[in-house]
Copies of this chain bind each other. A is one copy, B any other.
Amino acid sequence: MTVELISVGTEILLGNIVNTNAAYLAEKCAWLGLSCYYQDVVGDNEERLYETIRTALSRADILLISGGLGPTQDDLTKEVAAKVMEKPLYLHEESKEAIRRFFDKRGMEITDNNWKQAMVPEGCIVLDNPNGTAPGVIMEKDGRHIVLMPGPPNEMIPMFETSVIPYLNRLQNGVIYSQTVKICGVGESKAESMVKDLIESQSNPTIATYAKTGEVHLRVTAKAEDEKAAKKLVKPVVKELKGRFGSSVYTTEDNVTLERSVVDLLRANHLTLVTAESCTGGMLAARLVNVAGVSDVFRAGYVTYSNKAKRRLLGIKKSSLAKHGAVSKEIAREMAKGAALISKADATVSVTGIAGPDGGTEEKPVGLVYIACNVCGKITVKEYHFSGNRAKIRENTVSAALVFLRECILQYYSEMTFGGKDK
């Protein structure tokens, strides 16, 4: 089945906000096995909205429309969509009650225009919105389906996951199930070449690769008559991928991020961590703190962007800085070592580099980064060359630091287990 995404909102047309809803829905549709050929953005204008919905209906089976369900006169997505589908609106008592409860709970006063949000098209399916006042709506006619969802992502996403995904699965005569194998430390083209034969030889399940900063996600998607059968199709392929990528696979779970897998690995080995950052300036610590409950392994972070801070906070010698320069293998090593000495943390990771736009030289160009990891006294340093602007270089550095720390921890325990060099 085909799907078309329509985002309604003048604020998108004015460039006031980035259309992240479309990216979210597009990814989920691919995951659900729905083909999407068009995405549209249109403002809160009756005529143009009508034409956009009509055109989309002529070329897609399902329209996912977000935005324009608010209480003001400007918000007219529901009214226009109902007009296209030739369905009159009526007052939906349960939605009215839900709106009343929403306001009461927050001690806010209801204004008259809020009741507009309780009006829904005849014969539609009404979707709960626990995070806002606009209910969602699904309309069906002549084998075509229109789904209306609120624009704010914190309302749209839970509604889509709770109510719309099961609906879309039911439409498809069968169930789509997919699992993602997330790998890190392997480049996109290398990863693709390692699964080329699988991608070419299989049709159900299919394998799709997604490149992320510092990681690659391999999504295995199967279609079957029920979830159990679909899972059975996915399982051997996931196993094959795990075999091919070995320890580069950091998770096969959707809700586990790279930073969470690193935090889990630290926790499993009873290791505490301290970070020491120069060019990333706190971004690495901030990314670790994305993980709720990180405090039992993440002890502290030092942001030592200036040389003075490197000396005072981490005990780096002035002579070392003069001899090697702040961006060097040696200083990265001393930062990791200094952080361990002052904090007594089991693991430390340090970052120093030239993020630009200034500060690069022939010998040490913009994008040169050193990352050092210390796991229980064993320090390893790695040199990186990143391209892009200041923000991109710093973002790449943070991902690389997480990948490298993970590798160093795994390496440390593998050497211990297999009797390799210890420390």
Interface pair B26/A13, CB less than 8 Å apart: yes
Write the residues of chain A forming the contact surface with B, with a CB cutoff of 8 angstroms. Answer: 12-20, 22-30, 36-43, 45, 48, 52, 55, 154, 208, 210-211, 275, 277, 279-286, 288-290, 292-296, 298-309, 312-313, 343, 355-359, 388-392, 394
Within the complex, the shortest CB–CB distance from A52 to chain B, in Å, comes to 7
Interface centre among A19, A281, A294, A302 (most CB of B within 10 A): A281
Q: List 6 A-B contacts (CB under 8 A).
A: A12-B26, A15-B24, A281-B286, A281-B289, A286-B394, A292-B358
B residues less than 8 Å from A281 (CB atoms): 282, 285-286, 288-289, 294, 301
B residues less than 8 Å from A36 (CB atoms): 13-14
Interface pair A305/B294, CB less than 8 Å apart: yes
Interchain CB contact (< 8 A) of A302 among B16, B55, B300, B388? B300
Interface pair B19/A15, CB less than 8 Å apart: no
Interchain CB contact (< 8 A) of A303 among B24, B300, B305, B309? B300
Known: A15-B26, A38-B42, A154-B388. A285 touches B303 (CB 8 A): yes
Within the complex, the shortest CB–CB distance from A150 to chain B, in Å, comes to 15
B residues less than 8 Å from A210 (CB atoms): 14, 16
Known: A40-B40, A285-B281, A286-B281. A20 touches B22 (CB 8 A): no
Cα of A358 to Cα of B295 in the assembled complex, Å: 13
B residues less than 8 Å from A42 (CB atoms): 37-38
Interface pair A52/B38, CB less than 8 Å apart: yes
Known: A20-B18, A301-B282. A358 touches B41 (CB 8 A): no
Top 5 nearest A-B pairs by Cβ distance? A281-B289, A15-B27, A301-B303, A282-B282, A15-B26
